[in-house]
């Protein structure tokens, strides 16, 4: 389920992200680099009352993924509905020293049009296809205030490489397609 939030600070393994919380802003601001010294705010645990009452149409339920599997060796993400692969996409993963974590996780965040804040000079890139985070963010890993997820990139030539600070980079068209297939709570297996 996707919903609009106002600003919430989250820290990636290599930086921080501001996510919208409760209707103040529809965008997010994220940065890669050294985490800030101040602790981050935790994600909301429960949905707003009006969101909890939304029923997904039956035809949408049939097309949603039941799990996502990231194969690090192949550098590909597979989207499953039950035991059938319904989509797969090439990805770029974490570079040596910043490896994408292995394990069983679930989608914990979904943000449309995230903005990137450069941790070295503080400049914020405009949201959109040329943002370093591309057009979608799908967070699946959290340790303390650090987050890792799938996101778009304008550098689509890096697919198949180990170049990120732990996140999974995807072509913008692919991360937008993945965003439409998943929802919070969907299992994400990184192997």
Q: Is 165 a catalytic residue?
A: no
Residue 60's H or E segment, with its range, is helix 58-63
Q: Distances from the Cα of 70 to the Cαs of 53, 54, 74, 112, 121, in angstroms?
A: 32, 30, 9, 21, 33
Residue 156 DSSP one-character state: G
Q: Active site includes 151?
A: yes
Find the catalytic residue in 167, 186, 188, 190.
167
Q: Which two tokens stand for residue 64?
A: 């949603």
**C-beta of residue 182 within 8 angstroms of C-beta of residue 68:** yes
> What span, in angstroms and rounded, lies between the C-alpha atoms of 146 and 35?
8
Report d(CA 155, CA 142) in Å as an integer.
25
- CB atoms under 10 Å from CB of 12, counted, come to 25
Strand partners for 79: 68, 87
Q: Which of 117, 151, 169, 171 does the annotation list as catalytic?
A: 151
Cα–Cα distance for residue pair 115/3, rounded to 1 Å:
17
Residues annotated as part of the active site: 151, 167
């Amino acid at each position: 389920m996707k919903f609009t939030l106002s600003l919430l600070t989250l820290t990636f393994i290599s930086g921080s992200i501001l996510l919208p919380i409760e209707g103040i802003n529809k965008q997010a601001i994220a940065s890669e680099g050294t985490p800030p010294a101040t602790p981050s705010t935790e994600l909301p645990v429960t949905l707003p009352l009006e969101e909890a009452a939304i029923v997904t149409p039956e035809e949408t339920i049939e097309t949603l993924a039941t799990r996502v599997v990231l194969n690090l060796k192949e550098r590909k993400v597979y989207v499953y509905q039950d035991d059938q692969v319904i989509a797969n996409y090439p990805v770029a993963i974490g570079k040596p020293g910043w490896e994408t974590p292995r394990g069983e996780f679930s989608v914990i965040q979904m943000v449309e049009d995230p903005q990137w804040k450069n941790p070295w000079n503080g400049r914020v890139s405009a949201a959109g296809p040329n943002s370093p985070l591309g057009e979608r963010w799908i967070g699946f890993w959290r340790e303390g205030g650090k987050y890792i997820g799938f996101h778009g990139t304008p550098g689509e030539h890096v697919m198949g490489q180990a170049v990120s600070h732990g996140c999974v980079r995807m072509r913008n068209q692919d991360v937008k397609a993945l965003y439409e297939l998943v929802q919070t709570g969907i299992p994400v297996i990184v192997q």
